[in-house]
Amino acid sequence: MKILVLNSGSSSLKFQLFKETDLSVLAFGLVEKIGDSQSAAKLTFVDSSGYEKELTRSDSVADHREAIMSMIELLQASGTLVDLSELAGVGHRVVHGGETFHQPIQIDETIITAIEDLIPLAPLHNPANLVGIRVAMEYAAHIPQVAVFDTAFHQSLPEHAYIYALPYALYEEHKVRRYGFHGTSHSYVAQQAAHYLNKPLEQLNIITLHLGNGASAAAIKNGKCIDTSMGLTPLEGLVMGTRSGDLDPAILFYLGRECGLDLEALDTLLNKESGLKGICGDNDMRAITNAAEQGDSQAMLALTIFCYRLKKYIGAYMAALGGVDCIV
């Protein structure tokens, strides 16, 4: 039997197929530019001889239903999944589980409704995740479907770490608090670090760093997350590719007053036009590093700011943990 894992985004579908017995990867792929006339699908798989091969398609993919059908056709063409009956289960990445979900859970209509209720906390992510869930359940109604939440690993945060210094009623009535993200990544690398060190995770203090276009840090004490850099949304914390990370909240009032920026413009500014891109015009770390090596002063500044913010978080988490066994 096999396990299929889906990460359904607003305009893309990432997927991976595992062998159930040892979780070895049989195939992985991506359908991108969903809804675009120039959609593309790619599958990388290991054939019966043990060689890695690739299949591609460039047909127009109108929606997520067609994206999942394209994925199924590629898996069937590769021979890695001849029929959906070979699946023992389907796993779905869901970005926001709020305070409702602390661990993976099998999906039914009640769970779907609960995920829908959390859309205000993740308006860009949860709807896309739900589309993938609904379509997958249509194609494979008889196969167990499981939701895995980015926020779940951080539900062990103590109250003093997740409550903001705002009127407490905002937490009680609107659930304004720190949630944290990239939880599946932080949890996995912490487990791998413990395995590498040959020590129980429950006996280790670890700082984990998820560094990509989106970036976050986590402080893990005896296997439990006690603090993390992202907050109510993935905007807080480290300097990221296009996101500002931490900044003085009063900057927003100033920009609204002096530059005439409304809420939507401020949202776009902080989420899509800031971070490394805002400083040096690029959010690709490879390109920034190359430019810095060539003497580009803005690229060098972007790298310095990125690393300085990272060092501040590492130092703070070392203090919060009271000592660190490793940084991953």
Using CA atoms, how far residue 178 sits from 151, 207, 243, in Å, is 10, 18, 17
Given 150, 227, 282, 296, which residue is catalytic? 150
Give yes or no: 36 in active site.
no
Q: How far apart are CA 257 and CA 278, in angstroms?
A: 21
Phi, psi (rounded to 5 degrees) for 144 = -60, 135
Q: How far apart are CA 320 and CA 314, in angstroms?
A: 10
Q: How far apart are CA 144 and CA 154, in angstroms?
A: 25
Q: How far apart are CA 96 and CA 124, in angstroms?
A: 10
Using CA atoms, how far residue 256 sits from 233, 248, 268, 284, in Å, is 21, 14, 13, 29
Residue 321, token pair as written in the block: 């943990």
Tally of CB atoms within 10 A around 192: 13
The residues, any chain, with a CB within 8 Å of residue 243's CB and separated by 6 or more, are 214, 234, 235, 270, 271, 274, 275
Instruction: Supply the residues annotated as catalytic.
Output: 150
